[in-house]
Amino acid sequence: MQTPTDEKHCQLMVIGAGMAGMAATLFAVKQGLQVAQAGLTGEVIYASGVFDLLGVYPPEKRQVREDPWRALAELAQAEPNHPYARLAPQEIAHAMDLLTEYLGEIGLPYTGHPTKNTRLLTSVGTAKPTFRLPISMAAGSEALAQKAPCLLVDLVGLRGFSARQMASTLAHQWPDLRTATVEAPGPVVHGPKYPEHVARTLEVEAERDAFAAAIAPHIADARYVGLPAVLGIYKTPEIVAQLEERLKVRIFEIPTMPPAITGLRLKEAFESHLPTMGVDAYYHYRVLSVHPASSGGFRLEIGKNDTEQVVHADTVVLATGRFLGKGLIPERDGIHEALLDLPVHQPRHRDRWYAGAFLAPEGHAVSRAGLEVDDQFRPVTADGRVVNDRLFAVGSILAHQDWMRTKSGVGIAVASAWKAVQAICAA
């Protein structure tokens, strides 16, 4: 970071480094814009590493959808204010493709059916509908679909991941599941094992053979072997290939509970590659204030606690997330937008924020609170006026969507980011 008085100019400032911020930045640099980006990255916000498009609709009917595009058409009909309703299906598909192609280029390949959702086995034994998944997880969905003979393996010391739990939970529909427990790779030490530590161990080639040898005696007639997602951080495809070669089975990863390696992989990939494309990145820094300048554009102050950098930007994309991301601030008297105090669509009173049951199928009203936007993803006031021509908002901060219940987190983030960048470039 430079001296406190340092000032810079850029065409676009992206505020936020979650999936929405990363996608907006990527799309904008690819279009030749000069981009600066700030925000905290963390394995938690990228979490499972799978990319949902629309897995459940309508949520109150608990309808799991195999064809996300049909579900999208219904949603666009029923909910004209939903962020997805502002995009054509081809635009959404294109945005997803751009993102996954890029990740493939930088060593984090994704896969999935061209038009359908895939079922992903989770560590609690549910089968989550998702759209794009890391190729290291693909064989699991295949095995699940075929109910093929399969061995699930857990590791001594890795808490919250039990092969027996998954096998028992799925036994009624997938009887050919076997389980085994093996020591985690590396020297045997007592105590808890963390995915990151195990993954770093497996980055070392020599460790993989020993790990394969520990699994081998349990395989019997299994054609697939499922492991917790610990197979490296940077070389996952290589590690999977090596284990498959040694064990003569298909290997797949199952996402673990946080702190999970699947998020860390995305974090590392974005953080190391976007700056090489010319992004002026301030990861681990926050935008402390944003002021529209009288001359047009914005003046932004960036720092950890005190301002360390001033950036003048022609355009701003707000991708600051919801409560976890800190884009929205929930006070006892109401929900506020953190940086510009933009109008927030929300329930009338705090007693309407949440349903009585955590798992109420319809979800919680507070999850649909957020920023209202126009067709170009510019925030608007309650009466529909655009707040600022050059200010855009994307990702989970948007109102009228509940990604958690409809399984659409990354989809909404990436699609809205793409549309906003299109609008910015067109202007």
Ligand X SMILES: Cc1cc2nc3c(=O)[nH]c(=O)nc-3n(C[C@H](O)[C@H](O)[C@H](O)COP(=O)(O)OP(=O)(O)OC[C@H]3O[C@@H](n4cnc5c(N)ncnc54)[C@H](O)[C@@H]3O)c2cc1C
Contact between 256 and ligand X (CB under 6 A)? Answer: no
Query: Which residues on adjacent β-strands are paired with residue 426?
Result: none
Q: Which stretch binds ligand X (CB under 6 A): 16-24, 241-249, 269-277, 364-372?
A: 16-24
62 binds, among another protein, ligand X, none (CB under 5 to 8 A by kind): another protein
Q: Are 10 and 302 in contact (CB under 8 A)?
A: no
How far from 362 is each of 23, 45, 141, CA to CA, in Å? 29, 23, 27
Distant-in-sequence, close-in-space partners of 95: CB < 8 Å, separation ≥ 6: 23, 27, 414, 415, 417, 418, 419
Mark 286-315 with x for binding to ligand X (rule: CB under 6 A) and - for no binding: xx----------------------------
Q: Are 94 and 418 in contact (CB under 8 A)?
A: yes
Q: Are 109 and 135 in contact (CB under 8 A)?
A: yes
How far from 29 is each of 34, 90, 285, 300, 393, CA to CA, in Å? 7, 21, 20, 20, 18
70 binds, among ligand X, another protein, none (CB under 5 to 8 A by kind): none
Contact between 413 and ligand X (CB under 6 A)? Answer: yes
Contact between 162 and another protein (CB under 8 A)? Answer: yes
Residues binding another protein: number (CB under 8 A):
58
Report the residue from 48, 136, 262, 401 that binds ligand X according to the rule CB under 6 A.
48
Torsion of CA 227, 233, 236, 240, to 10 degrees: -30
Minimum CB separation from ligand X for residue 110, in Å? 12
In the region spanning residues 112 to 131, those forming contacts with another protein, defined by CB under 8 A, are: 122-126, 128
Report the residue from 83, 149, 195, 327 that binds ligand X according to the rule CB under 6 A.
327
Q: Which stretch binds another protein (CB under 8 A): 1-9, 287-295, 300-308, 403-411?
A: 403-411
Q: Is the CB of 126 or the CB of 168 nearer to ligand X? A: 126
Cβ atoms < 10 Å from Cβ of 245? 11
Contact between 321 and ligand X (CB under 6 A)? Answer: yes
Mind giving me the DSSP string for 93-158? HHHHHHHHHHHHHTT--EE--SSS-EEEE-TTS-EEEESBEEHHHHHHHHHHHHT--EEEEEETT-
413 binds, among ligand X, another protein, none (CB under 5 to 8 A by kind): ligand X
In the region spanning residues 332 to 371, those forming contacts with ligand X, defined by CB under 6 A, are: 338-339
CA-CA distance, 306 to 327, in Å (whole number)?
19
Q: Are 393 and 377 in contact (CB under 8 A)?
A: yes
Question: Which H or E element spans position 304?
Answer: none
Minimum CB separation from ligand X for residue 140, in Å? 14
Contact between 187 and another protein (CB under 8 A)? Answer: no
- The residue whose two tokens read 């608007």 is 380
Q: Which stretch binds another protein (CB under 8 A): 183-191, 266-274, 280-288, 382-390?
A: 183-191
Q: Which stretch binds another protein (CB under 8 A): 107-115, 160-168, 289-297, 299-307?
A: 160-168
Does residue 170 sit in helix, strand or coil?
helix
Contact between 291 and another protein (CB under 8 A)? Answer: no
CA-CA distance, 284 to 270, in Å (whole number)?
13
Nearest CA to 367 out of 331, 324, 410 is that of: 324
Side chain identity at 168, as an amino acid letter?
S
Contact between 38 and ligand X (CB under 6 A)? Answer: yes
By CB under 8 A, name the binding residues for another protein.
44, 47-48, 56, 59, 62, 64, 122-126, 128, 157, 159-162, 164-165, 168-172, 189-192, 255, 257-258, 322-324, 326, 330-332, 350-351, 353-354, 356-361, 363-364, 366-367, 403-405, 407, 409
By CB under 6 A, name the binding residues for ligand X.
15-21, 38-40, 44-48, 50-52, 286-287, 319-321, 324-327, 338-339, 395-396, 409-410, 413
